[in-house]
Structure formats: C-alpha cells, structure tokens
Chain A
Amino acid sequence: MDWIALWLSVRLAASTTLVLLAIGIPIAHWLVFSPRRWKVLVEAVVALPLVLPPTVLGFYVLMAIGPFSPVGRAYVRLVGHGLPFTFEGLLIASVLYSLPFAVQPFAAEFASVDRRLIEASWTLGVSRLATFWRVVIPLSVRGLVTGIVLSFAHTLGEFGVVLMVGGNLPGVTRTVSISIYDSVQSLDYAAASRTSLLLLIVSFVILVSTYSLQRTVWIKPRH
C-alpha cells in the first residue's frame, strides 16, 4: 500500500480545495452579479477543463510553467527554482483542472438566492459586500459544500494532468492515481487493487458523509 502517495493526494486535494474556495467565490460572484455581457467568455473559460482532455491541459500547463515561458522565468527569478516537478506546480495544474467543479456549483447557488432578499438588504442600507457575506453566502451553504466536495474528490482522482506535469517523484508528485498506474505497469496487480480499493472506499465515504450532512444536521432544506 502506497501510503505516501495517498497522503500526498489528500494534501494536494485539500490545498486545491482551499485555493478554489478563495478564488472560486469571487469568480462565481462576478459571474452571477456582473452586468458585463462578455462574462460568457469567462464562463466558457472556467468550463474548459470539463471538456479538454487532461493531457491537453497538462501539456499547456507544462509549457506555461517551464523555463521557456515568461511565467516560468519570472517564477524562477522570484523563488529561485522552477515550477515543473514540484508540489506548487501540481497545485496550479490541479486548481485549473478542478476550477469548474468549484465555480459552477457556487455560481448556481448564488443565482438561486431570492433576489428580493438581496434588494431588501440593500434598501436597509447594508453595503453590497456585506449583503453578499451576510445574505447570499449563508443561503448558499449547500452549493458551497457541493463545490468543496466535488473539488476535493475530483483532485483526488486526478491522473492525466499529474502525469504530464508531475515527473513521478515519491512524496512530491507521485499521487495515488499515478502510484496505482505504476503498480499496474509493473504487473503488480495485487498492490494496484489494494490501493484502488482504499481510494474507492475513501471517495465513497467522503461522498456519503457529505450527502448525509446536507440532508440532516446543519443545512436546513429550502422551501
């Protein structure tokens, strides 16, 4: 059993989810409430990872963070080492890869908040930002939880992108799906099925506990 790879995947998924929470909420807010017509372009860009093969995304990320790109060179100047084959590089790729899984549930939930409640808050003199935090966000917990769980689960199962930009380094970029793939390649099917089973159970437990939480305790059903 490759515990190092599993732990790495969990850390990567958790970090990705945190980043997506931080950048996903403002993006979703802008997509829902901005009057700009060209926001459909941003919407399409956000949804691209749903459609693009992970290898394409991984290939672009590798080119974009490599030393032949301005971004890659700037990062080397700033930090002293490059992004490819590092946890940070993998994190950037994962955030892009899971972006729609956070932004879309967030945005759908923001959009379904009763407009009259938001306007009532405004007429009571509460600022737009404060209204968002005190009215929209509390009414969107369900969508936020869905986005968080999907981002986490999606990153946990990430394969093609990691394969393209990772370099298969134990404890740094060898995630659990790569480790399973390696076991299969080395014809060690027993190890592959042990790790696969564990991943299956972990994923299932995460999803079941989320769905049951959503049904019962801290989120009151709407309507």
Chain B
Amino acid sequence: MNVARVVSSAALLVALAAGGCSAKRETTARRGHVRVAAAADLNQALVAVIAGFGASHDVDVAVSYGSSGTFYAQLLNQAPFDLFLSADLHYPNELASRGLTLPQSEFTYAVGRLVLWAPAASPLAIDRDGFAALTGTSITHLAIANPEHAPYGRAAVAAMQSAGIYDRLRPKLVFGENVAQTMQFAQSGAADAAIVARSLTSAPNVKGTGREFEIPPAAYPRMDQGGVILRWAADPDAARALRGFLLSADGRAILERSGFALPER
C-alpha cells in the first residue's frame, strides 16, 4: 500500500509539474545506478541536483519521493534503496544505530526553511503582513504537515507558537500527510494558506503562482536534513558519488538555489 501510494503520488506530482521535469525519468542504461529514497521537500530540488550530477557522472539515478517516516519504516524492512535522504537527522541516525547503514556514511546535506504561502488568487497579503494576515476571520483553513510525524509539521507548530498565534489558529489547521501534499492543499485553494518548505515554493513551476513570507529561522528549531547509504546498497560507489556531489560546492549551490539553507562545512 505504501509503495503504491508513494509511486502514485510521485506520478501525480510529475503530472502536476506538467512537463517541467523531464529530467526526472532518465531511463538510459548507464554504468552506475543509485536508487534514492528522498524526503518530500526534495521533490523539486533533486531534479536540478540530478541534472547537475548527471552532467559530470556516469550514474543513473532513480528517485522515490515520500515522507521520511514511511521510508524509515520501509528501510527497517530492507527496502531496495541505496541512498536515503531524510528531512531530519533522527531517522538516518536511528538506521545507523541499528546497523543498517554503511559505516560512517551519515551526512548532513541541507537545512530546511519554512515559508508561509498562499496562492496568487487569495486576498491574503501574506508577503506584506506575514502571520498577521492569518489572524483575521477571513481564513477557514491553514494547512501544515502532520506534526505527529512530519518534521515540517513540527517546525510549523513551533513557528506559530513563537509568533503567539498557535492557539488562535489551531481550530483552523488541516494536516497534509507530508509537506508536498500540504503544499497541494493550498495550491488547490482547498486551504487558504499553508506553512511549507521553501524548497517547494522555490520550484520553477510554483514560483509566481503565489505569495510567500519567509518565517524567521529563529522562530523554529533548526531543520538539519541528513542522509545515509544503506548497508545493502547494490552500487555503493555510485551512492557515494551522489553523496559527494550533494556535499560539493556545485551540489550546495543547487540546493541553495532550490530554497534550502546550507549546513556549515
């Protein structure tokens, strides 16, 4: 069920991106091969990363997007992935401590940033007023990722708490299964606004379709995103090459352009 869901939601997002991501399906047979399980907030950024990586490496990359928690549960059961890019540090560390990863393969590749986003058709002046735009009576639903298991959901709750508006907004919250679905609630207009990853609103096909307000990083705990290479990686060298690219100056530049902040080197 989970795999089918991940696949179909990935297919849906590809359809949504409407041609903007032809790089996503690269099927030519090449020397190396990496199967990546990636957090939903990487959905757009990784397309650019893989394009850059493919230009300099003979490695074929296949990515599945989903929530980090789902992948964690699947990886505990040895899901066939080589590289896991989580939206936090907890899941990769947990996998490492259970001996399911290659020794010393843990790395931190990006720092997530939160934005408040509303579609362009919305009357909310989010870019001007920030959270203050939400406290009027006009909004009925604010979408966040499920704080029970999604890192961006927990960060969104923390940000609302530090802005002192959590109690007022709590009855209006609706929960996306992951941060990409949360974004979709706002894009479809079903929710008035959403607190999502800047990496999603920076995507080429989203930019210009809405207004956003960047939530000050001090308002929520830092969202380090880590990854690991799995013990059963079929092609560990290819996985290491992709990890190396993510941590290289080129990879970091792409991640930064895609809306992530960067960890200290």
Residues of A at under 8 Å CB distance from B?
53, 55-56, 59, 62-63, 65-68, 72, 81-82, 84-85, 159-160, 163-165, 167-169, 181-182, 184-187
Distance, CA A66 to CA B174, complexed state (A): 14
Does B8 lie at the interface of the complex (its beta carbon under 8 Å from any beta carbon of A)? Answer: yes
Residues of B at under 8 Å CB distance from A?
1, 4-5, 8-9, 12, 67, 69-70, 72-73, 121, 140-141, 143, 146, 148-149, 174-177, 181, 184-185, 188-191
Q: When the two chains form their complex, are residues A55 and B5 in contact, meaning their CB atoms are under 8 A apart?
A: yes
Q: When the two chains form their complex, are residues B190 and A66 in contact, meaning their CB atoms are under 8 A apart?
A: yes
Q: When the two chains form their complex, are residues A187 and B73 in contact, meaning their CB atoms are under 8 A apart?
A: yes
Distance, CA A56 to CA B10, complexed state (A): 11
Q: When the two chains form their complex, are residues A84 and B149 in contact, meaning their CB atoms are under 8 A apart?
A: no
Extra A-B contacts (20), CB below 8 Å, given A159-B1, A168-B146: A55-B5, A55-B12, A62-B188, A67-B189, A68-B121, A84-B188, A85-B141, A85-B174, A85-B190, A163-B177, A163-B181, A167-B190, A168-B176, A168-B177, A182-B148, A185-B149, A186-B69, A186-B149, A187-B69, A187-B72
Q: When the two chains form their complex, are residues B149 and A167 in contact, meaning their CB atoms are under 8 A apart?
A: no
Pick the residue among B5, B175, B190 that contacts A62 (CB under 8 A): B190
Q: Which residues of B contact A181 (CB under 8 A)?
A: 177
Q: Which residues of B contact A59 (CB under 8 A)?
A: 12
Q: When the two chains form their complex, are residues B9 and A182 in contact, meaning their CB atoms are under 8 A apart?
A: no
Q: Which residues of B contact A185 (CB under 8 A)?
A: 67, 69-70, 73, 146, 148-149
Q: What is the CB-to-nearest-CB distance from B95 to chain A, in angstroms, rounded to a whole number?
A: 12
Q: What is the CB-to-nearest-CB distance from B168 to chain A, in angstroms, rounded to a whole number?
A: 17
Q: Which residues of A contact B190 (CB under 8 A)?
A: 62, 65-67, 82, 84-85, 165, 167
Distance, CA A187 to CA B90, complexed state (A): 12
Distance, CA A56 to CA B5, complexed state (A): 11
- CB nearest to A173 among chain B residues: B174
Pick the residue among B8, B9, B174, B184 that contacts A169 (CB under 8 A): B174
Distance, CA A57 to CA B179, complexed state (A): 20
Q: Which residues of A contact B177 (CB under 8 A)?
A: 163, 168, 181
Distance, CA A168 to CA B177, complexed state (A): 8
Distance, CA A81 to CA B146, complexed state (A): 23
Q: Which residues of B contact A182 (CB under 8 A)?
A: 146, 148-149
Q: What is the CB-to-nearest-CB distance from B250 to chain A, in angstroms, rounded to a whole number?
A: 34
Distance, CA A85 to CA B144, complexed state (A): 13
Q: When the two chains form their complex, are residues B8 and A55 in contact, meaning their CB atoms are under 8 A apart?
A: yes
Q: Which residues of A contact B70 (CB under 8 A)?
A: 184-185
Q: List 7 A-B contacts (CB under 8 A).
A: A59-B12, A63-B188, A167-B176, A169-B175, A181-B177, A184-B69, A185-B70
Q: What is the CB-to-nearest-CB distance from A159 to chain B, in angstroms, rounded to a whole number?
A: 7
Most buried by B among A62, A72, A85: A85
Distance, CA A160 to CA B149, complexed state (A): 18
Q: When the two chains form their complex, are residues B185 and A167 in contact, meaning their CB atoms are under 8 A apart?
A: yes
Pick the residue among A63, A67, A81, A186 that contacts B148 (CB under 8 A): A186
